[in-house]
Amino acid sequence: MTRVAVATTSQHAADAARDVAACGGNAVDCALAAALMTMNTEPGVCALAGSAYVTVWKPGSDPVTIDGNTAIPGLGLQDETRGRGATSVTMRYGGGIRTLIGPGSVAVPGSLAAIELAWQRYGQAQWPELFAPTIETTRRGFPLSAACHYYLGYSGEAVFNRSDDGFFALHEADGSLREPGSLIVIPHLADSLTAIAEDGARFFYDGELATAMTAHVEAGGGALTRQDLAQYRAVERPSLSVDVGPWSIASNPPPAIGGTTLAAMLLACSKLPYPDWRRESLSRLIAVQRAVLDYRKQNLDLADDVGEAAAELWNMVQSGQLPGAWTSASTVHTSAVDNAGLGCAVTASSGYGSGEMPPGTGIWLNNCLGELELNRRGVEAGPAGARLPSNMAPSIARRDGTVLAIGSPGADRITTALHQFLVNHLQLGMSLEEAIAHPRLHVDTSGNEDQLMAEAGLDLPEVDIPVQVMEQISMYFGGVAAARFDRVEGFGVAADPRREGGTCISSA
């Protein structure tokens, strides 16, 4: 019998994976079931009408990544009718961010297409079985997590007041945000999920949900069309692979930028000055982050050909160089492995949320077109149908007899969180739990001046940029989820204490 280990965003999601394992599901089925739960029970943090990547590595085969990223809308529209219907808002979240919300910020969603393609090619459970736990949970209601409450404390009024159904599901009668642990019931969501479970993703892309979504966006001046949804396809690509010691690590390939950034950091730190985090090793880590993240900002984010820009970065790092001198979103993740050696990692995002919920659907729409730190061209980006940039990097590492599925939420902290975890676990020999819990740092390149963000407990070196040390662990630094299977040692699983993670190992 197949046994599965899963690390994910919440215990509800881990329990969903356990239920699907009991139905005969493998690592892919369980990862997808958990991902569906996280997308639909983490309001504000994620939603079904967003983006997702699924990395799968079968033993004896090459790893693949299924691209279900959001795409630029507007197929069938005249150019002069695009770029409308978006509102700029500023939130204090993450130290202060500006984003675009409203119908004009909605990109073509790809999560469900990626989930269906991954299930068709690699799953073994029945399609409705993947949805059953989430349908039951959303129908009876689910507790508002602390992570969601934290984000909604910044965005509830600014973003999620645009839909009556959505707003009153999250707020009390007096308009105040519900407390953590409060039971959340989103009207119509369970019915929409039931229809998708019965009819497949076509109900979302070419059925009643497609009609409701596009009519709502069009009425608000946005660019999402029926043609966008009908022509959207998830794409399976060979994963981007890099070797670190005896391990091969597979991650998200171009046109996404997350896997490229992670691989460059891993290569650049493959030989640290010392086998621990002394000041000299931390100096190397900071230098690598500054160089790679600045290259990403200056080259990858605005590249017409991400593959070409990524190849240039790759060549520099492989030759032992760092990129040239620097100047002084909300996601969820699930990792799953099984005792057959199959690994699956799923990362999903809906940006900061558009605040839009088409009446009668219960489904919040993404604002990925308005996520300005990634899509720096804004709502007038083109051409229609092109994939938007993404930091997501669901990854799988493999060596003889062992498979490790990993990933993290956390916007541009995804790659730095995963990099530090992999160095901790693969190079420094820490356990999964130790590698995840270890204090992290992140070079923030989002403003006019770089700054170093760090958790307490690191012996930081002297640097020539501002430093902010957070005294307690923070969800700012991501939420790594790791699941491992070793033929000799068996299963290992760990979720990040920075988020309300959940884990499970199914019984025989």
Q: What is the pLDDT along the chain (508 residues), one digit of tens a residue?
A: 789 999 999 999 999 999 999 999 999 999 999 999 999 999 988 999 999 999 999 999 999 999 999 999 999 998 777 778 889 888 876 566 788 999 999 999 999 999 999 999 999 999 999 999 999 999 999 999 888 888 888 887 888 889 999 999 999 999 999 999 999 999 999 999 999 999 999 999 999 999 999 999 999 999 999 999 999 999 999 999 999 889 999 998 888 788 888 888 888 887 777 788 989 999 989 988 888 888 777 776 666 666 677 767 756 666 555 554 333 346 889 999 999 999 999 999 998 899 999 999 999 999 999 887 766 667 777 788 888 888 888 999 999 999 999 999 877 788 899 999 999 999 999 999 999 999 999 998 877 788 999 999 999 999 999 999 988 877 788 889 999 999 999 999 999 988 878 999 998 6
CA torsion sign, 368 to 324 to 455 to 426? positive
Going through 233-377 in order, the beta strands assigned E by DSSP cover 235-238, 240-244, 247-251, 331-338, 343-349
Please tell me the distance from the alpha carbon of residue 249 to that of residue 422, in angstroms, as a whole number.
Answer: 10
Put the strands of the sheet holding 467-470 in their side by side order.
441-444, 451-455, 467-470
Q: Is 261 part of a structural domain of the chain?
A: no
Q: How far apart are CA 411 and CA 420, in angstroms?
A: 15
Instruction: State the pLDDT at residue 59.
Output: 95
Q: Which amino acid type is present at position 34?
A: A
**Partners of 332 in beta bridges:** 348
Q: Which amino acid is at 501?
A: G
Cα–Cα distance, 160 to 43 (Å, whole number)? 10
Q: How far apart are CA 368 and CA 378, in angstroms?
A: 9
Residue 137 corresponds to which tokens in the numbers above? 């949970």
Q: Are 301 and 372 in contact (CB under 8 A)?
A: no
300: which residues sit within 8 A by CB, 6+ positions away?
257, 260, 261, 306, 309, 310, 313, 389
Query: Does residue 410 belong to any structural domain of this protein?
Result: no
Collapsing DSSP to helix, strand or coil, 39 comes out as: helix
Instruction: Give, to the nearest 10 degrees, the angle between helix 127-140 and helix 11-22.
Output: 140
The confidence score (pLDDT) of residue 323 equals 55
Dist CA 40 CA 48 (whole Å): 6
Phi-psi region of 225 (alpha: psi -120 to 50; beta: other; left: phi over 0): beta
Give the C-alpha separation, 285 to 269, whole Å: 7
138: alpha, beta or left, given left = phi > 0 and alpha = psi -120 to 50?
A: alpha
Dump the DSSP string for 138-160.
HHH-EEPPHHHHHHHHHHTTTTT
Strand, coil or helix: 370: helix
- Residue in 249, 201, 246, 196 with CA at minimum distance from that of residue 55: 249
| H-only helix segments in 186-338 | 189-199, 202-206, 208-219, 226-231, 258-268, 279-295, 306-318
Helix 413-422 × helix 258-268 angle, to 10°: 40
Instruction: Evaluate whether residue 75 is within a structural domain.
Output: yes
Look at residue 8 and tell me if it is in a domain: yes
122, 418, 462 from 508: Cα distances, Å: 21, 31, 52
Flag whether the pTM goes above 0.95.
Answer: no
What secondary structure letter does DSSP report for 361? T
Cβ(217)–Cβ(106) below 8 Å? yes
Domain membership of residue 461 (yes or no) is no
Domain range for residue 8? 4-236+332-380
Q: For the chain, how many structural domains are there in total?
A: 1
Whether 287 maps to a domain, the answer reads no
Sign of CA dihedral 160, 70, 443, 301: negative
Q: Is 255 a member of any domain?
A: no
Q: CA 82, CA 314: separation in Å to the nearest integer?
A: 36
The pLDDT of residue 302: 60
